[in-house]
Amino acid sequence: STAQIGVTGLAVMGRNLARNFARNGYTVALHNRTTAKTRALVEEFGDEGDFVATESAEDFVAALERPRRLVVMVKAGDPTDAVIAEFAPLLEPGDMIIDGGNAHFADTRRREKDLRDQGIHFVGTGVSGGEEGALNGPSIMPGGSKESYASLGPMLEKISAKAKDGDPCVTHIGPDGAGHFVKMVHNGIEYADMQLIGEAYQLLRDVAGYSPAEIADIFRTWNAGRLDSYLIEITAEVLSHTDAATDKPFVDVVLDQAEQKGTGRWTVQIALDLGVPVSGIAEAVFARSVSGHAALRDASRHLAGPTASTLGKDEAAAFADQVEQALYASKIVSYTQGFHQIAAGSEQYDWNIDLGEVAAIWRGGCIIRAAFLDRITQAYEAQPQLPSLLADKSFAEEIAAAQNDWRTVITTAVTQGVPTPAFAATLAYYDSLRAERLPAALTQGQRDYFGAHTYRRVDREGAFHTLWGGDGTEVES
């Protein structure tokens, strides 16, 4: 037993993660259901470090130093359970199974509990950054026990991405499913970021009249400022790309039906369960869903809309600046919503998640990496009990400065008939929180009217019901 870590599941993610461990000086045991993949890895990349190729589960487990650290990188869902069922009987108390797949955190909680009874640490771990990140340094979100992190943490810190200040993009998120929960919300925020960028693009195209190449330049300018992020950077790359076959902008030859794998949807489903309003993320998930309804869209193209008009050159440049303000304000709100969800999950499951640390480990390696995340860390460091990112003075001031433009952009979108669901939903959330009074009072009245659901009053404690069908007197219930 010579390997410090083992990886089973050697598709793109597992293979690159195994190479990352090996390149960092660890001896890595390898295993895959289809053994040809194991052999291929060693043939192609064997000179990158020390690998121990194994074919059977028994040999794999025997190759590992104790306590064993066994990374599972297989298809999420039933395959993960099958692999756990295969390996768990071969393990001993103190050993660790690290599930780096995109598991649902509820599955992770179940698996952790089952294995805890056997003394095995199950470490549900979010890994972000795609195949590139897995190889060169992902952002890593491990859950599970403190003991497992003590053993595993230093290795993960080595292979993780490093933020600009050199800090490793990994931290012990919290017990059991905390890591996978945070990875899920990361993906939800990623959906919102992408949708907001998409809406900004559409406005620059349809309202300002810019070409994809011109919009790419605008995004490059934005990337030099406060919106500096991986997603803005790659957006410029995608928009400036030309399709070789047609010589048209690449973005014009791609079918406009977005796909999804499910973590965005999970984020919204769980947010509904927790009662957290993540409207920006939800609209982003729904926007992909709308795009995919080809028949519905075909049947709707004739529906009436406003006559669109394109701005003149000077107006277009001014409008682009306003869109930057809108994008930034909406981004602050969607992160506010995502962090609210993490706080709510942490509360519900007793995870004690450090929100500032979460922002810190997203600064490198992952898809939503951005300069902006430093600011979120600072906000939570200054005030760990911050009720909302919008309660942070500097974010509030930035939104205050952006809000007129934010409103103008959304008004323009509405007037011109350009759909901007995520821009609009995030602004509505902001205005809802700001509002002195919400129509929820009326909702309570309606509920009391048809269902005797009772209401509370602004001026007295207690629950009240009005005898709507009777003489209209109020009774205390």
**So which residues are the catalytic ones?**
183, 190
Contact 121, 145 (CB under 8 A): yes
Burial 116-130 (b: 16+ CB within 10 A, else e): eeeebbbbbbbbbbe
Closer CB to ligand NDP, residue 56 or residue 211? 56
Beta-carbon neighbour count of residue 432 at 10 Å?
Answer: 12
By beta-carbon proximity to ligand NDP, the closer residue of 101 and 142 is 101
Shortest separation between residue 39's beta carbon and ligand NDP, angstroms: 12
Give every CB contact of residue 466 below 8 A, 6+ residues apart in sequence: 448, 449, 472, 473, 474, 475
| Minimum CB distance to ligand NDP smaller for 101 or for 364 | 101
Radius of gyration of the chain from its Cα atoms, rounded to whole angstroms: 25
End-to-end CA distance of the chain: 70
**82 versus 440: smaller Cβ distance to ligand NDP:** 82
Residue 90 beta carbon to ligand NDP: minimum distance, rounded to whole angstroms: 15
Q: Closest approach of Cβ 36 to ligand NDP, in Å?
A: 8
Per DSSP bridges, beta strands 474-476 and 464-466 are: antiparallel
> Closest approach of Cβ 99 to ligand NDP, in Å?
8
Query: For residues 100 and 345, which CB has a smaller minimum distance to ligand NDP in the complex?
Result: 100
Residue 37 CB, nearest approach to ligand NDP (Å): 5
Burial classification of residue 167, based on how many CB atoms lie within 10 Å of its CB (0-12 exposed, 13-18 middle, 19 or more buried): middle
Residue located via tokens 């309804």: 293
Q: Which residues contact 415 (CB under 8 A, 6 or more apart)?
A: 306
Ranked by CB distance to ligand NDP, the top (closest) residue is: 101
d(CA 409, CA 411): 5
Nearer to ligand NDP, 13 or 386 (CB): 13
Nearest CB to ligand NDP, comparing residues 73 and 427: 73
Residues near ligand NDP (CB under 6 A): 9-14, 32-34, 37, 73-76, 79, 82-83, 101-102, 127, 130-131
In angstroms, what is the minimal distance from the CB of 138 to ligand NDP?
A: 8
Least distance from ligand NDP to the Cβ atom of residue 98, Å = 12
- Phi and psi for 476 in degrees, rounded to 5? -85, 135
